[in-house]
Amino acid sequence: MNEKTGDGVKGFSKPIYLDANATEPLRPAARAAMLEAAELTGNPSSVHHAGRHARAVLEAARNTVAARLGVAPLNCVFTSGGTEANVLAMHGLGQGRRFLVGRTEHDAVRKGAPDGADVAWLEVDSHGQVRLDLLEAALHAPGAPAFVCLMLANNETGVLHPMAEVARLCRQHGAHLHVDAVQAAGRMDVNVEDLGADSLACSGHKMGGPKGAGALVLRGPAPRPLAPLFEGGGQEQGRRGGTQPLPAIAGLAAALCDGLDNPRDLAPLRNRLEQAARAAGAVVCGAVAPRLGNTASLALPGRRAQGQLMRLDLDGVCVSAGSACSSGKVAFSHVLDAMGLGELAGQAIRVSLPWDVSEADVAGFVQGYARMAAGTGAGAGLALAR
Amino acid sequence: MRILVAMSGGVDSSVVAARLLEEGHEVVGATLQLYDSRGAAKKGACCAGQDIRDARAVADRLGFPHYVIDAERRFQDSVIERFADAYAAGETPVPCVACNQGVKFTDLLGLAKEIGADAMATGHYVRRMEGPQGAELHRPVDEARDQSWFLFATTREQLDFLRFPLGDMPDKAAVRQEAERFGLVVAGKPDSQDLCFVSDGSYVDLVERMHPEMAGPGEIVDQSGHVVGAHEGVMRFTVGQSKRLGNAARLQGERQMVVGVEPGRKRVIIGPRAHAFVSTLSVRDVNWLVDAPPEGIVCKVQMRAREEPRTARVVPTPDGATVLLEEPAMPAPGQACVFYQGSRILGGGFIRRTEQQAAV
């Protein structure tokens, strides 16, 4: 019979969490800001003393996020998270435009355009970067001005698009450039002006803040008009209805500052685990392109992602494959598929290092991965499920 | 040992997981998502959205890991489409056999091996017994729940790896009692029905949607091709049936029955009931759970999910087996013909169309 593997990776009694791109562990600074904000009773929209107090905390967070991302304070619109920020941009700023959406975008964006909108896809090369020649051709195509949606860093591979070139082309053709910076914000310098983006989305829990808050930031004079998804009480300058979740927003702002003020280059650790994975037979997807330092996409030829995930999980290692679906089933990776990786798109796991990852975590992963890779690789039927 | 338990979210497989855990095994639960749970799923069918939630709740309560496996495409290709195609070819298929064989005992079993499991367990009512020549497959103790007929295609290699802990249970009430003893939320859940993938409508609608050329009224003909009546759709007819024939149910004083279905021409072929029985039939895709006896073997054969087994001699052929019945019967093409000796399954195959059924 097979070797017993139920006791966890040797020497690691605690699970090893390497799924930061799904959600980062909470940063202590964010926790402190949240707890403080949670003590406040006031609604930021109320005129009385308690309301004013809450409003001051909200606006301080807004000033911080706006300054860190390079926009005017009133051009920082708080949302419930990254998905809403992206969808708000596409609905609120995309009217009358044709959408050009990257093939490797997150589902929030791939499925974010309003019903009936004109959507065309932007192909990527085998490294996962957008094809600039095709972007230019698409921008040249006749029709309404374009609304281009491209992410800064890919959630599955960490691959960065050549955003300076993208922005230049968009400017030349009068296109709106919306950047999904959910994975990048807080992990690298992200400045809307420097990027040449017109709008940019980020999410609190992907930078070590709590789940429940995100932001859509807009370039240009403030407040920039933006049609709301729902009006509600007219909060956020009438651009996003609903009482602001103050603790989540305060946590987001604190996490962003903490991440940027205490930068940590995770690439050396990432490279170490990639090297070990290659030695165990893995292919690193998108390795040639510039990437976010914390993300590795490891495909093991002939081994479906589901089995790899389960095996690693049973050994106490948390990683993921593709984007997690709400039911928890593992879906085929549309990102790797768009990169032309064929079967490997069903055989890759994503390892994303959190801000507080330790060398021991990486060593534990390497041990678990080698054991998993050495195990049996049976029937391929479910690997093809897509 | 590490055991992967295939969990449908129902009482049976939940009790299996709980028992194995109690016995001290390392249990890993897995539920196959066979179709999109957001679609209309039939009530009481397995593996819809609620069932995944139930399976997960059981795993959470008992404290073992549980995973949802995406098998939608595989299920569509290997079960639903083949089910519809078989009807379109004039057969009456058994989709549960295809599902057990493909999605469950090939794919999920492969996954179990990948995660380092030593065995895979299911909630099927069937017994696996160690014999002198390895694992044997037997009917369960509870005859009312017997699922052995649906599992005839299990290979010896698969059987070696499989466990069916409910095969010894005296009855369903005992299983529910176990569920209650373990405090499982699913203890009172109704039993799942066959054809889990057929939502609100019927299998007729499903097949007609996938093969529109089969839909609509057509002719009832006798064995020489003379039109003797009309029908509402070939999907409603299966070989051996006497219902829905209208005035053609009795011709020249003789009771008639369906002897063949020609979906392409939307024709139902009938013949005198008395002459329609055959003594010999041919089966394909035969799986032997014993070493195939070259000279043949006298045993019992069961040709429908619920029927009394009949005595027959089964002789292996290069492309399956020939079954020589002691007394004539009316086998339906596409159904399974399973060979038993006492409670033990020797093997089985799928019934081929006879020349008579195919040639009219």
**Domain B2-181 is in which class?**
alpha beta
Whether A276 has a pLDDT exceeding 90, the answer reads yes
User: Which of A34-38, A107-111, B115-119, B254-258 is predicted least confidently?
Assistant: B254-258
CATH number, domain B216-275: 2.30.30
- Residue A303: list chain B partners with CB under 8 A: 114
Chain B positions in Cβ-Cβ contact with residue A318 (cut-off 8 Å): none
What local confidence, expressed as pLDDT, does residue A2 receive? 37
User: For the segment B321-355, what is each residue's pLDDT rounded down to a tens digit?
Assistant: 999 999 999 899 999 999 999 999 999 999 998 76
Q: What is the mean pLDDT of chain A?
A: 92
Minimal C-alpha gap between A58 and chain B (Å) = 38
Q: How far is B98 from chain A (nearest CA, A)?
A: 14
Distance of CA B34 to the CA centre of its chain: 16
Interface A-B, measured as beta-carbon pairs within 8 A, has a size of 94
pLDDT of B43: 47
| pLDDT higher than 80, residue B94 | yes
Mean pLDDT, rounded, for B228-256:
87
CATH number, span B278-359: 2.40.30.10
Q: Using 50, 70 and 90 to split pLDDT, how confident is the model at A381?
A: very low
**Percent of residues, chain A, with pLDDT higher than 90:** 89
Contact yes or no for B110 and A379 at CB 8 A: yes
Residues B328, B313: contact at Cβ < 8 Å? no
Last residue of a domain, one of A234, A261, A288: A261
pLDDT band at A330 (very low <50, low <70, confident <90, very high): low
Determine, for residues A385 and B73 on separate chains, whether the beta-carbon distance falls below 8 Å: yes
Torsion angle of C-alpha atoms B173, B179, B184, B186, degrees rounded to 10: -30
Q: Please indicate whether residue B99 is annotated as part of the active site.
A: yes
Residue with tokens 């650790």: A269
Q: Supply the pTM of this predicted model.
A: 0.87
Same domain, A331 and A184: no
Query: What percent of chain B is helix, strand and coil (3-state, nearest 5)?
Result: 35, 30, 35
Q: What is the mean pLDDT of residues B118-137?
A: 96
Q: In chain B, which among 263-322 make CB contacts under 8 A with chain A?
A: none
Instruction: Give the strand pairing for B250-251 and B254-262.
Output: antiparallel
User: Residue A10 pLDDT more than 80?
Assistant: no
Q: What is the pLDDT of residues B202-232, one digit of tens each?
A: 778 888 888 888 888 999 999 889 999 999 8
Q: Is residue A124 part of a domain?
A: yes
- pLDDT tens per residue across span B14-42: 999 999 999 999 999 999 988 765 554 44
Q: How many CB atoms lie within 10 A of CB B83?
A: 25
Question: B300 and B327 in contact (C-beta within 8 Å)?
Answer: no
Number of domains in chain A: 2
pLDDT of A212 over the 60 cut: yes
Q: What separation in angstroms does the CA of A344 have from each of A287, A301, B107?
A: 14, 6, 18
Q: Is the pLDDT of residue A155 over 80?
A: yes
| Predicted confidence band of residue B50 (pLDDT cuts 50, 70, 90) | confident
Q: Say if the Cβ atoms of B115 and A307 lie within 8 Å.
A: yes
Residues 6+ positions from B173 with CB-CB distance below 8 Å? none
Q: Can you read off the two tokens belonging to residue B266?
A: 């939307």
Lowest mean pLDDT across A130-144, B5-19, B46-60, B255-269:
B46-60
pLDDT over threshold 90, residue A244: yes
CATH classification at residue A67: 3.40.640.10
**DSSP alpha helices (H): ranges in chain B?**
11-22, 49-62, 72-75, 81-88, 95-99, 109-114, 156-161, 172-181, 203-210, 355-359
Residue B96 annotated as catalytic:
no
Query: Can you tell me which residue has the tokens 């589901």?
Result: A306
Q: Of A207, A229, A261, which residue sits at a domain end?
A: A261
pLDDT at A326 over 60: no
Q: What is the average per-residue pLDDT within B47-66?
A: 88
User: What is the number of other CB atoms lying within 10 angstroms of the CB of residue B219?
Assistant: 18
Pairing of strands B310-317, B297-302: antiparallel
Inside any domain, residue A18: no
Same domain, A67 and A116: yes
% of chain B beyond a pLDDT of 90? 59
Split at pLDDT 50, 70, 90, the class of B72 is: confident
- Tell me, what amino acid is at B179? A
Q: Which domain holds residue A96?
A: 28-261
* Site from B115, B155, B161 to mutate, A interface, most A CB atoms within 10 angstroms: B115
Give the mean model confidence (pLDDT) for residues B166-182: 94
Kindly determine whether residue A327 and residue B33, on different chains, have CB atoms separated by under 8 Å: yes
Asked whether residue A378 is domain-assigned, the answer is: yes
Residue A82 and residue A227 in one domain: yes
Q: Are B315 and B352 in contact (CB under 8 A)?
A: no
Q: Are residues A279 and A233 in the same domain?
A: no
pLDDT higher than threshold 90 for residue B242: no
Instruction: Establish if A310 touches chain B: CB-CB under 8 angstroms.
Output: yes
Name the residue ranges covered by the structural domains of chain B. 2-181, 216-275, 278-359
By CB atoms closer than 10 A (0-12, 13-18, 19+), residue A163 is buried
- pLDDT value for A97: 97
Whether A379 has a pLDDT exceeding 70, the answer reads no
pLDDT reading at A338 higher than 50: yes
Q: Give the CATH number of the domain where residue A317 resides.
A: 3.90.1150.10
DSSP single-letter state for residue A158? -
In a domain, A324, yes or no: yes
CA distance B322 to chain A (A): 32
Distance CA B205, CA B220 (A): 21
- Provide the token pair at B280: 């010999």
Residue type, A330: V
List CB contacts (< 8 A) between B73 and chain A: 384-386
B37, B109, B114 member nearest A311 (Cβ): B114
Q: CA-CA distance, B48 to B64, in Å (whole number)? A: 21
* Residue that terminates a domain, selected from A261, A285, A313: A261
Give residue for tokens 């969990």: B7
Are A60 and A141 contained in the same domain? yes
Segment B61-71, tens digit of pLDDT: 999 999 998 88
pLDDT more than 70, % of chain A: 91
Contacts of A314 in chain B (CB under 8 A): 2, 28, 65, 115-116
- Identify which of B2, B69, B113 has the shortest CB distance to residue A306: B69
pLDDT of residue B356: 56
Rounded Cα gap, residues A139 and A131, in angstroms: 12
What is the arithmetic mean of pLDDT over B81-96? Answer: 88
* In B29-128, alpha helices (H): 49-62, 72-75, 81-88, 95-99, 109-114
> DSSP strand E in A173-234: where?
176-180, 199-203, 214-218
**Other CB atoms within 10 Å distance of the CB of residue B209:** 11
Q: Would you state the structure tokens that stand for residue B324, as one six-digit string?
A: 């020589």
Who has greater pLDDT, A114 or A382? A114
Residue of B46, B47, B96, B99 with catalytic role = B99
Give CA angle at B74 (B72, B77), nearest 5°: 105
Give the pLDDT of residue A13.
57
**The predicted structure's pLDDT at residue B250:** 87
Q: Whole-number mean pLDDT of chain B?
A: 89
Average of pLDDT values for A263-268?
97
Q: Does residue A220 share a domain with residue A75?
A: yes
DSSP conformational letter for A130: B
Of A6, A306, A313, the CB nearest to B2: A6
Residue A306 at interface with chain B, using a CB cutoff of 8 Å? yes
Cis before A223? omega within 30: yes
> Residue A4 burial (CB < 10 Å; 0-12/13-18/19+)?
exposed
Residue A81 is assigned to a structural domain of this protein: yes
pLDDT at A42 over 60: yes
Number of H helices, E strands in chain A: 13, 12
Cα(B103)–Cα(B80) distance, rounded to whole angstroms? 12
A14 belongs to a structural domain:
no
The alpha-carbon gap from B263 to the nearest alpha carbon of chain A, in Å, equals 31
Alpha helices in chain A (DSSP H): 28-38, 49-69, 82-93, 107-110, 132-140, 163-172, 192-195, 235-238, 246-261, 267-279, 305-314, 334-338, 359-374
Q: Is residue A309 in a domain?
A: yes
> Which of B72, B103, B114 has its CB closest to that of A307?
B114
Among left, alpha and beta (phi > 0; psi -120 to 50; other), residue A68 is alpha
Q: Within a domain: residue A6? A: no
The yes-or-no verdict on residue A219 having pLDDT over 50 is yes
3-class secondary structure, B272: strand
Counting Cα atoms < 13 Å in the Cβ hemisphere of A75 gives 20
Whether residues A93 and A139 fall in one domain? yes
Q: Does B36 touch chain A (CB under 8 A)?
A: no
Least confident of A177-186, A278-287, B35-44, B293-302: B35-44
A 321-340 near B (Cβ less than 8 A):
327-331
- Decide if B141 touches A, using CB distance below 8 A: no
CB A73 within 8 A of CB A59: yes
Residue of B46, B47, B196, B337 with catalytic role: B196
The DSSP element (H or E) to which A142 belongs, if any, is: none
From its phi and psi, is residue B307 left (phi > 0), alpha (psi between -120 and 50) or beta? beta
Catalytic residues of A, by residue number, are 325
Q: Say which range, A47-56, B13-22, B261-270, has the weakest mean pLDDT.
A: B261-270
pLDDT at B187: 85
CA dist., res. B30 & res. B66, Å (int): 5
